Amino acid sequence: MQSRNMTIFLFAIYLSFLTWIILFKLDVFSTLQMAYNHEMGRSINLIPFAGTAVYDGVLDYQEIGLNVLCFIPFGIYMEMLDKKATWVKNLAVILTVSTVYEALQYTFQIGVADITDVLANGFGGAIGINIMYILTSIWHDKAYERVNRIALILTIVAAELLLLI
């Protein structure tokens, strides 16, 4: 399979996983049932590192770290899909998609729309963009093929792990 086609294919799978994780919390049916019954309610937090990111007065570093981790591949894929895009343009796309996810959570009452999530997601995406910059400076033209191979292996592993949940 051509490298770009492989990247698009893997990116689509990644976005499916990301949507399942963010919007459905790994459980589509329970989340939709709770939203239908209005058990979650509509909530928004516009204060960074406050609100839902704080539990019992302590910042939840684990949730923030998971958000960062989940968006690192997004930055890598953005850089691979549009090699001519600027760092800022790729980050803007990532932040826009993250904001859309938060708006969907708010709209459908399936989670809390939280600015901390957008910031953490953006940070993860920025890390991913920078990882790809480093890899292309080391591997040059072979970087895209090698990253696709790594991404394919990680996608298979992630799929297996998510199916076990």
Quick check: 153 pLDDT over 60?
yes
Averaged confidence pLDDT in the chain: 88
State how far Cα 144 lies from the chain centre.
Answer: 20
pLDDT score for 38: 55
pLDDT in tens, 34-80: 555 555 567 888 888 887 666 666 787 888 999 999 999 999 999 99
Which position has the token pair 């770290």? Answer: 65
Locate the DSSP E strands across the chain: 43-45, 54-55, 58-59, 112-114
| Better-predicted residue by pLDDT, 163 or 78 | 78
Show Cβ contacts of residue 120 under 8 Å, excluding neighbours closer than 6 positions.
Answer: 64, 65, 67, 68, 71
> Looking at residues 79-107, what average pLDDT do you find?
96
pLDDT in tens, 119-142: 999 999 999 999 999 999 999 989
Alpha-carbon distance 65 to 25, whole Å? 16
